Structure 1
């Protein structure tokens, strides 16, 4: 997205592609009333819906609908905004879009100037980018708009709405204000070292620093929850052929998503489904059965197993399925142990012993030879133990069952908060020293302050902003 061309007027279809009852063409820029008059044949009252025809160059109606004019700064972007709400057919929307560009380039017979010079098609996210640049919203709120659109669960949507309303930004701003106060105290001491009064001791700077760190820890916990609501958890079902992976996927999803047969190796490729548990999205991936490469029946199965291992390497958690009806077989138990030994370090594993309805064996028969991790017995067929599995997954993800106060967050927000926390820890270490270097303390506070500023956009590089806004849809 060009950051040098952000003052030219822009236009785009603001509704989703395809057919719909209503479609919207949105224009943003300066001095849009001449364009509105060319399109609607009349002067529009600010913030009043006006019904009438949208006219082509010959004065004939392209469509009939509502026109709304929002003069700056009282608009979404902070600029003049014109919205044409017509019938939502793709051809009609493209005709209106083309007409806006045509009318903008037409010369006014009185001034001999174009009606709206430089009008161009908007780039992805450019309307929201302008709202950010014109101080209508901060960067965290801008991201919350995209997150609200993309929300996959009700809890995620509500949390995104809270962030859009400023809940997250208010927490960050409060932290930044407290850091500003601390920086002022430290820098006052640096500026007047000869004063007899110890500014830091008198103002309880160390106590304030500790309280800021505690508050930041609370915001970080909430941000982790918000990031989990947004990103979800990628869970991979792994295990030997015919252990019940596809049956478990179907049981968790409550639908017949994967083909289930008694024939080993029925699943030859990954099958994915997103489900939710207490509002947290789980992206569950059913993989091809794992066994030694030399035991693969054909090249297709070898490729399927390779993809299974790739998915396992990228997982947030692995459900390693074991067949309770076969765990007392030496060869089967050895194959499970071999697979477990190849699981990547750092990926949480839950050992799920399936087919509890068909076996009286205990998971303890094999659990002792497997790597450490939660052990559950269940039946994908009857549903026994599924609820315990759901709770285990939420615990592994770090989810706390208090979603109502959570705001949506992204991994970059979590990383920025962690960075700020690290700088505060260094600041606390300097402050604890009786002869601590105040210049180092001041620098750590400044770096923590800047890290928080990247969340709301107070301190953000252009390349970061470009990366964020280009992920939006066109028209938003």
Structure 2
């Protein structure tokens, strides 16, 4: 596989892993380099002519990234040179181009990485902020896996204790009711809750929050997008319906990625292009994590969204969080800031002057529970959150069995299922279907 991005560069790297790596070294280099030493050698074609020259590194398995024999060729980064070298290697029997993610997959299958660490490689490459990169590196170095493995080990000890009680039925009730198992179980639940809280932070850091700005035409939606983005991302005019399509901006608030989406003004439109834009606006609204309901403060004194535009509120998904943004405070003279109205947050600001926009930024950060002081954190994916939630549910069910019926066998089964859910995170227990989706 080519380990450097396509295109021109100072250095181009090819990596070969597997049983045939030794044959490639002997064919292209004329010898097998000394393990883990850099050799400056010519890279030769089949007829012995030099295609390039550069650094060759030889990592015999299992002491390599994949656990297999690995050869790394570091030549010049011209696409023609790399293509010639790759074609030369592929003329050898039994060689093929690696699938995307196959090197990491082989590292996982050969116990060089667990599943969470393998996923962290892609997250580190895709990191969009310094904090995301640091957290991805923590995951790659095993921070997340260590927390999960600690929980699995604690459940193993608890299962041993519970199953020992089951093996002595005459004393089972005494074992289960003496308070020791409940105390241990509560300790595991507390530790799991702490990991879940960190994982939610890690998921926010990786995936961000999707925020849609919606409202009537000329409410100032595009001006707010520009204010949040810190640049002129959208055209702003006094003409209603200027924005006809969806505009997206990716920003960061103290390290948290935020996907801000500006939409067409919502109204009954006769223009076909504008109507399509409004349909797209509703599609984005229905997929949002939060909606900023933009209101022109010069047109109404109302602050309750149901009073401002009942038809709009009625069409929103039931549990979709809404923040009402009363714009044009520089004209109305309203006091800038944030308040609560009938369960909805209300922010008063001026998108044109930027006054009050920082209040909105802080509100968005706090509404997602993002902690900017997260030290030593890790990144998490949706599947990790689901596995942790499943484990938590089984532990609560097990606790109910313990306290409600002293049912040792049912408690043991819930502990086993919780352990299985946690093991899916690191890949100790996983399905081929899951591996196919990840790699």
Q: Distance in 1 between matches of 2:20 and 2:265?
A: 64
Contact 1:19 1:89 in 2 (8 A): yes
Other-structure match for 2:72: 83
- For normalisation by structure 1, the TM-score amounts to 0.87
Contact 1:348 1:396 in 2 (8 A): no
Q: Please state whether the residue corresponding to 1:422 is helix, strand or coil.
A: helix
* Match runs of 1:313-332 below 5 Å: 313-328=286-301
Structure 1 residue 240: Cα displacement: 0.8
1:286 and 2:262 are equivalent in the alignment: yes
- For normalisation by structure 2, the TM-score amounts to 0.95
Q: Please state whether the residue corresponding to 2:52 is helix, strand or coil.
A: strand
Structure 1 residue 199: Cα displacement: 4.2
Structure 1 residue 32: Cα displacement: 2.5
1:416 and 2:393 are equivalent in the alignment: no
Other-structure match for 1:474: none
1:441 paired residue among 403, 406, 411: 411
Task: Provide structure 2 residue ranges, at least 5 long, that are not aligned to the other structure.
Answer: none
1:117-169 superposed Cα distances (whole Å, 9 cap, x missing partner) = x2211111000000000111100000111111111111111111111110000
1:387 paired residue among 336, 342, 358: 358
Other-structure match for 1:63: 52
Contact 1:140 1:455 in 2 (8 A): yes
1:259 paired residue among 208, 231, 235: 235
Structure 1 residue 45: Cα displacement: 0.6
1:165 paired residue among 119, 141, 154: 141
Contact 2:176 2:408 in 1 (8 A): no
Q: Distance in 2 between matches of 1:32 and 1:414?
A: 39
Q: How many residues align?
A: 435
2:370 paired residue among 386, 391, 399: 399
* Match runs of 1:51-450 below 5 Å: 51-102=40-91, 104-105=92-93, 118-194=94-170, 198-200=174-176, 204-291=180-267, 293=268, 296-328=269-301, 336-361=309-334, 372-433=343-404, 435-450=405-420
RCO higher in 1 or 2 (8 Å CA, sep ≥ 6)?
Answer: 1
Q: Please state whether the residue corresponding to 1:237 is helix, strand or coil.
A: strand
Q: Please state whether the residue corresponding to 2:64 is helix, strand or coil.
A: coil
Q: Please state whether the residue corresponding to 1:345 is helix, strand or coil.
A: coil
Q: Distance in 1 between matches of 2:234 and 2:20?
A: 57
1:418-438 superposed Cα distances (whole Å, 9 cap, x missing partner) = 0000000011111113x4221
1:320-362 superposed Cα distances (whole Å, 9 cap, x missing partner) = 1111122259xx9977343233222111110001111122257
Q: Distance in 2 between matches of 1:180 and 1:322?
A: 56
Other-structure match for 1:8: none
Q: 1:195 to 1:97 in 2, by over 3 A?
A: same
1:20-41 superposed Cα distances (whole Å, 9 cap, x missing partner) = 2211111000253232021112
Other-structure match for 1:7: none
Give the RMSD, CA atoms, in angstroms.
Answer: 2.1
Contact 1:27 1:83 in 2 (8 A): yes
Other-structure match for 2:38: 49
Contact 1:40 1:53 in 2 (8 A): yes
